[in-house]
Chains A and B, each alone.
Chain A
Amino acid sequence: MPAVSKGDGMRGLAVFISDIRNCKSKEAEIKRINKELANIRSKFKGDKALDGYSKKKYVCKLLFIFLLGHDIDFGHMEAVNLLSSNKYTEKQIGYLFISVLVNSNSDLIRLINNGIKNDLASRNPTFMNLALHCIANVGSREMAEAFASQIPSILVAGDTMDSVKQSAALCLLRLNRMCPDLVPMGEWTARVVHLLNDQHLGVVTAATSLITNLAQKSPDDFKTAVALSVARLSRIVTSAAIDLQDYTYYFVAAPWLSVKLLRLLQCYPPPEDAALRSRLTECLETILNKAQEPPKSKKVQHSNAKNAILFEAISLIILYDSEPTLLVRACNQLGQFLQHRETNLRYLALESMCTLASSEFSHEAVKTHIDTVINALKTERDVSVRQRAVDLLYAMCDRSNAKQIVAEMLSYLETADYSIREEIVLKVAILAEKYAVDYTWYVDTILNLIRMAGDHVSEEVWYRVIQIVINRDEVQGYAAKTVFEVGRKLIPYQLKACGGYILGEFGNLIAGDSRSSPLVQFNLLHSKFHLCSVPTRALLLSAYIKFINLFPEIKTTIQDVLRSDSQLRNADVELQQRAVEYLRLSSIASTDILATVLEEMPPFPERESSILAKLKKKKGPGGHLPDIDDARRNVNGSTESSENAEASKKGSAHPFTDLLNVSSPPPATNSLLVDVFSDISKPAALEVCEENFSRFVCKNNGVIYEDQLLQIGLKSEYRQNLGRIYVFYGNKTSTQFVCFSSSVTSQDTLTPPQLNVHSKTVDPVIEGGAQVQQIINIECLSDFTDAPVLDISFRYGGTLQNIGVKLPVMLNKFFQPTEMTSQDFFQRWKQLGAPQQEVQKIFKAQHPMDTEVTKAKIIGFGAALLEGVDPNPTNFVGAGVIHTKSTQVGCLLRLEPNPQAEMYRLTLRTSRESVSQRLCDLLSEQF
C-alpha cells in the first residue's frame, strides 16, 4: 500500500509538524508552538465562521501540540462541534480529540453525549463505531448514565453489524468497570453468553472479555458460559491451523481468543459435569502436548503465541489444583523453560513456578529444580529475572532445603542489586525464623545478615531478633556470646543497637568468661559511641543502666560516662533526659529498687511477625507474594504439625512457628511493651477519606469526617506561609477509645517536601462522649498540590480502627489578599500574559449562580475581591499573594459568569504555571 495518499491532506498540519521538527532548540520549539497557539486562538475567536476543514485542521494541530507534552486549554468546544459534522473525517478528528484530551469529569460531557446519541441513532455502522469507541475511551460516569442501558440492546440486536457488536461489547465492558452499578443485568445477559457461539471469531473475541468481566461481578448469571467456553476452546485447539484463516497467527489458532477463554474459565471452579470436565482436561492436555511438538515456525511470534496459551492453561491448572498429573506435567514443562535460551521464557517459568510451589501436588516437583533456580540467581544478567529467582526460592523453601536456600540467598546478597536488597533481607529473615531447627543457626544467620547488609536491614529485622531472643531462654546465652564476638569487628549500627539490647539484657550470661567480663563488654559497647545515630545512642544508654543492675562492680565507670558533659548536656533532648534520669536513678535507688526497675524484659506477646508485615507492605495490596503460611495452610499440613510437635518436645510454651502466624489477631491487651514496636502492625493500605475535602476550599472551620464512632472537626487559621489547625476528635460512643493515635503523613514521598507539618501527640485514651484536641502546625515551603493525610488509629471494643482523612490544606490557604486599583490590576494582568502563566477553565455551574454567594466564595478563597475593576460589572476579579517559604507568588483571577448558558469562565494568571493550575483547579470546583 502506498504510504502517502492515506492522509486526508491536511497540508497545514504537515507543514506545522515539519516546522516543529526543524526547530533547533527547545526554546525555538516553544516559540513556534506559542505562535501557532496564538494563531489558532485568534481563528477560533475570530468573527469569521470557520469551515469544517479548517476547524478539523486546527483541532488536529492542538492535538499534536498536546501530544508533544504541552497543555491545551481550549479548542474543546470546536472539537465538540466537529462531532455534528456529517463529513466522516471531521467527525473522526472531533472524536479523537475528545478521546485523548477530555478526561472523564469534563464539563463538556453533556454536549459530547448529545453528539454520541445522534451517531448511535444514525444506523450508520461507521458512525456508530466512532461513537462507541468514544464512550469506551472516555468512559465517564455521565456517559454511563446516558448509554449504559442502550448499549446492551445494540449488542444483542439481531440486525447489528458484527463490527458494531464488537465495539459495543468492549464499550459495555469499560462502562461496567467504571460504573458497575449503572450496567443493569437483565434479559440480555443470556443472549450475551450465546455470543460465545457466534460464527464471527472477532465477535467471540470481544464478547469473551465482556463476559469474563460480567462473570466476576455476578458469576451465577453467566454459569452457562463455562460449557460454551470449553466447547469453543476445544474446537480451537483441535482445529488445523489454517481452519481459522485470518484468526490464525503464525500457525497458532486464535491465540488471543484461546487466552481469553482460559481466563474466563478461571472465574469458575472446575466443572462438575464429568463429560464437560474430561473435555476440558483433554483441551489442557492437548495444549501441553503441543508444547512438546516441534515448532511450525522459527519465528518468535509463533512460540510466543503458543506459549501464551500454554501459560494461561497452566494458570488454570494451578488454580484448579485438583489434577495431580496435569500439575506435575505443568511443572516439568516449566522446568524445561527454566533453561530455555529465551530470557522471556525463563522469567515466566520462574514466575509461574512460584504459584506451583504452593500446591501440595507439585511442591515436591518444584523442589527438584532448586539447583537450576540457584544457578539463575547467580548467572542471570537481568535483575528482573534474578528477582523472580529469589521469589521462587522463597516459595519453594521448606524445612528440608531451608539451610541451603538461606545460605544461597545470603551469599547472593553480597552482590545483589541495591533495588532488591531490602526485600531479600526480609525474606532471609523470615525463612530463617520459620524453618529454624535450632536457635543457634537462627541467631548466626540473622546476625550474619545484619552484618552483611547493614544499610538494607530495616529496623523490623533486628526488633524481631530481640523479640525472639527475649522469648527463648535457651538462646539467650548464645546470642549474648555471638553479638559480643561479632561486636569486636567493625559493625553496622543496626548490629550495634541489637547488640546493645541483647547484652543489656543477657550480658550476665557470658560475664563469667574473663574475655567477656563486664568491663570488656561495656568498653565494647561504648567504643565509637559518639559515631552512632541518636536512636542507637539512646538505646545504648538504656543498656548502660541495665549494666548497672547486672554488674554493680562497673557502676562507677558507667556513672562517669553518664555524668560527662557530652551526655548530661547533650544537645539532643532525648539523650540528655536519659542521661540525667539514669544517672539519678543509679545514685538514689537501692539495689532492690534497681533490680525491680531494670528487671529482664518479660516475654513479648505472640504476634504477627513484623518482618512478614513489612514484606507484605512492600509488595502492596495487589502483590502476588506467595504467602508461605496462607499457601501451605491446607497443603503442607503434615509439615506444620510436625513442626509443632518438635516445638512442644522442646518444652517451649510458645510454638516457635506461631510467632509467624498471620491469621491470629494481634493481642487485644495493650501493654507498654507492645508500644515499643507499635505502628509496625498497621495495615498496609489505608483508604483516605476526602469526601468533605473540597468544602474546605473556601472555609476554614467545620466537620471534616464523621462515622458511627468518630467525629472530626477542624478549626484552622493561616497567616502568610504558616498555618495552624485545631483538630477535635469526638468519641460518639459510650465506650472509650484506647491506643488512640493520629499523625500526619505526606501523600507523596517522592518529591522533596513542600509542606512542613508538625502534629502534637494526643492523649491515647478518649472517654466515651468526650472530645480531645490536637494542634497541627503547618509551614508551606513551596507551592504544592497534594494535601497531607491525617492517619488515625485506635481500638474500639477490641478491634483496631484505621481512618485516613485528607487534611484540607490547600495552596489557597496561604493567600494574602491584595487591594489594587483598576489601572494597577490591568497593568499587572498584561505583565502576566505569557501562555504558561495563564490557566483558563470553562465549566458548568454546579450551584445556583448567586452574585453574593460567589463574592463570599472568592473572599473565602483568600483573594481580595476588587469591585469596579472589570469593565463588565457582572464579572468578578480578585488579587492576592500566595506566601510560601521559598517565594511569594502574585495571583490575579477573573471569573466571568454566563447565566444563560449556566457556565463560568475562570482565568488565573500568576507568575508560576503550577500555581495558576492548582488555584484554577481548586476554585473552579466551588461554583
Chain B
Amino acid sequence: MQSGRVCLREALEAHFFRGEFSVFIKMQFMLLFSRQGKLRLQKWYVPLSDKEKKKITRELVQTVLARKPKMCSFLEWRDLKIVYKRYASLYFCCAIEDQDNELITLEIIHRYVELLDKYFGSVCELDIIFNFEKAYFILDEFLLGGEAQETSKKNVLKAIEQADLLQENIDFQMRLFSGVMVPNMVSESSGLFQTS
C-alpha cells in the first residue's frame, strides 16, 4: 500500500514508446507453482527484465500461498488483477488487466488443465516437472500473446499430436519416470483433478 512504489505498469510503460499508445494487454503472465512455492512454469506476455520477473514471482507466490481456501479467486495486486486456482498440489495463476474478464480467465486456466490432463492422461505435477517442454508447447497452441488462440480441445491436441508424429525415430522409448523413482512425491503425483 506504499505510495511511491514502482508499479508494474510504470515498469512496463518504460519499455514502450512514451505516451503515444496505450498499453492494453490482456494477460500479462501465467505462473504455475507448487504448494511449496516451487515455480513449475512461467510464461510472460510482457517484456520484463529477469530481475523484475523474479521479484514479481517471489511476491506473488507468497501472496497467493498465504490465502485460505474458499477465498475469492481474484485479488488486486499492484495495479493488476490476479486470477488463480489450485489443482491438487499446483497453483495456476494469471495476471490480467484491471478491466479484464476474471471468470473467462478462470476458465482459461481450467481449459489448460484439461488439455494437460488429456495429453498426459490424468496429469499430475510430476508430468509437468519432467515434461516441462511439452507443457510449454501445449500452452503455446492454446494461448498466444496472452490471448486464446484455439479454444477447441480437439484442435489443440491434434496440433500437438501432429508435432509428436514429426519426431525422428526415437532409439529408446522409455518411461520418463515410474512411481517409485522419486521420494516425497505423494502430492506431486496426485492427479490435478482429484482434489480440485
Interface of A with B (CB < 8 Å)?
1-9, 11, 14, 17-18, 21-22, 60, 63-64, 67-69, 71, 87-89, 92-93, 96, 99-100, 103-104, 126, 129, 133, 136-137, 139-140, 163, 166-167, 170-171, 173-174, 177-178, 180-181, 201-202, 205-206, 209, 213, 216-217, 245-247, 249, 254-257, 259-260, 263, 301, 304-305, 307-308, 311-312, 343-344, 346-348, 381-382, 384-385, 387, 419-420, 422-423, 614, 617-618, 620-624, 685, 687-688, 690, 745, 747-750, 785
Contacts and interface: CB of A to CB of B under 8 A. Distances in A.
23 contacts: A1-B121, A7-B174, A11-B172, A92-B137, A96-B133, A126-B166, A139-B47, A139-B145, A140-B47, A163-B155, A202-B151, A206-B147, A209-B26, A246-B154, A247-B151, A249-B151, A256-B148, A344-B72, A384-B72, A384-B75, A618-B3, A623-B79, A624-B99
A614 B22 CA distance: 24
Contact of B144 (A171, A245, A346): A171
Contacts of A749: 2, 4-6
Interface in B8-60: 9-10, 14, 16-26, 39-42, 45, 47, 49-51, 54
Contacts, number: 258
Contact of A88 (B54, B118, B163): B163
B24 A216 contact: yes
B186 interface: no
B7 A202 contact: no
Interface residues of B, number: 97
Contact of A622 (B79, B104, B154): B79
B191 to A, nearest CB: 11
Interface string B105-124: 01110110000001111110
A346 B7 CA distance: 27
A8 B72 contact: no
A6 to B, nearest CB: 6
Contact of B47 (A4, A104, A748): A104
A312 B148 CA distance: 16
A92 to B, nearest CB: 7
Task: Identify which of A3, A216, A688 gathers the most chain B CB atoms within 10 Å of its CB.
Answer: A3
B133 A60 contact: yes
Nearest to A348: B102
A177 B101 contact: no
A92 B164 CA distance: 11
A140 B46 CA distance: 11
B144 A67 contact: no
Task: Identify which of A93, A170, A617 gathers the most chain B CB atoms within 10 Å of its CB.
Answer: A170
A804 to B, nearest CB: 11
Given A9-B174, A618-B3, A307 B103 contact: yes
Contacts of A129: 159
Interface of B: 1-7, 9-10, 14, 16-26, 39-42, 45, 47, 49-51, 54, 68, 70-76, 79, 97-99, 101-104, 106-108, 110-111, 118-123, 127, 129-134, 136-137, 140, 144-145, 147-155, 159, 162-164, 166-168, 170-177, 181-183
Contacts of A1: 118-121
B interface secondary structure, majority: loop
B150 A308 contact: no
A6 B131 contact: yes
Given A69-B39, A92-B137, A748-B6, A343 B182 contact: no
A256 B21 CA distance: 26
Given A67-B132, A347-B72, 5 more contacts: A6-B164, A181-B20, A205-B148, A246-B154, A381-B71
A311 B101 CA distance: 8
A259 B21 contact: no
A6 B119 contact: yes
Given A14-B177, A312-B101, A103 B9 contact: no
